[in-house]
Amino acid sequence: MTAAVPDISLFQLALGCVFILGAGAVSFLHGLGLERDLLLGAVRTFAQLFLLGYVLKFVFNAQDIWLVTAVFVFMILFAAWTIRARAREKQIALFWPTFLSMLFSYWIISYLVSGVVVGATPWWRAQVFIPLGGMVIGNSMNAVAVSLERLLSDLRGRRREVEMMLCLGADYREASREILRNAIKAGMIPSINSMMAAGVVFIPGMMTGQILAGADPLTAIRYQIVVMLMIVGSTAIGAFLVLMLVRRLCFGAAQQLLLRPKGG
């Protein structure tokens, strides 16, 4: 018999705001200027997560494949928009290459994990597909953002080197091969580090949630292993596809590098 999960009242939830107040005090005392961002982040956390709770309750009760698909696509749309906003790139159109690459790769990975590895019936069962898909999108989104930033900054920073290789007869793939490799590696390192430290330095999120819900720790461990392997795979595939498309947009039909230094 599993123990019931302790409920959190609205008053107890409000007590959690003391942590934000502490962070705000540190920012104020040291002149970090993060008070507004902390307040905005806290408000958005409350609003977005409560809204998500009601949406998921409706989706879980409906159990409709098209509704599950719509939620999944919207999550990817928002992730692609967030990446575009973080990159602040004006010379290259990042949104559609990012969105289409993420949609293709994350749909396949989420399907394989939900329908094949976990064995959910049906494979699009909302209680399984959406949480797993959300973990794929959320973790890989950060990796894609890091990889894109590294790719674009290195192409600008090593512009003369790239152009020299192009002048010597290399095509855009050869001239930017090392830059692409370093960008993908930069995006993958955090998820690999998480695998290295899991179970020793920290207890991963999904495993923690299942244990708090009363699940057997060994069952929670198996789910967490699947999730961590899934995240590493989606990080690598997602970043690779996005960077391949974006890299091509950085070069013209005549193989010239189109990226100009920012402000130039």
At residue 142, the pLDDT reads 87
Chain length of the chain: 264
The CA–CA distances, whole Å, from 132 to 14, 207, 244 equal 29, 13, 25
pLDDT > 70 fraction of the chain, expressed in percent and rounded: 94
Least confident of 80-84, 149-153, 217-221: 217-221
Per-residue pLDDT reduced to its tens digit, 98-147: 999 999 999 999 999 999 998 888 999 998 899 889 888 988 888 899 99
Average model confidence (pLDDT) for the chain? Answer: 87
Dihedral through CA 147, CA 204, CA 209, CA 22, nearest 10? -80
As to burial, measured by CB atoms within 10 angstroms (0-12 exposed, 13-18 middle, 19+ buried), residue 159 is middle
> What pLDDT, on the 0 to 100 scale, is given for residue 195?
82
pLDDT at 2 over 70: no
SS3 88: coil
- Residue spans per domain, the chain: 9-62, 65-249
Rg (CA), the chain: 21
pLDDT of residue 219: 83
* Torsion sign, CA atoms 42, 47, 48, 53: positive
Q: According to the model, what pLDDT value does residue 1 have?
A: 44
> What secondary structure letter does DSSP report for 5?
P
Q: Which residue has the higher pLDDT, 13 or 166?
A: 166
What pLDDT is stored for residue 214 in this prediction? 73
Output the six-digit token pair for 129: 């597909």
What's phi and psi for 170, nearest 5 deg? -75, 150
The percentage of the chain sitting over the pLDDT mark of 90, rounded to a whole number, equals 47
Q: How far is CA 113 from CA 41, 131, 211, 221, 252, in A?
A: 31, 11, 21, 16, 38
Tokens of 130: 């959406």
Backbone φ and ψ for 260, nearest 5 degrees, come out as -105, 155
Integer CA distances (angstroms), 234 to 72, 111, 139, 143, 227, in order: 15, 12, 9, 10, 10
**Does pLDDT of 177 surpass 90?**
yes
Residue 45 burial by Cβ neighbours in a 10 Å radius (0-12, 13-18, 19+): exposed
pLDDT at position 221 is: 84
Question: Measured between alpha carbons, how far is 51 from 77 in angstroms, rounded to an integer?
Answer: 17
Enter the DSSP assignment of 116: I
pLDDT of residue 16: 85
Q: What is the pLDDT of residue 3?
A: 54
pLDDT tier at 202 (50, 70, 90 boundaries)?
low
Mean pLDDT across the stretch 13-39?
90
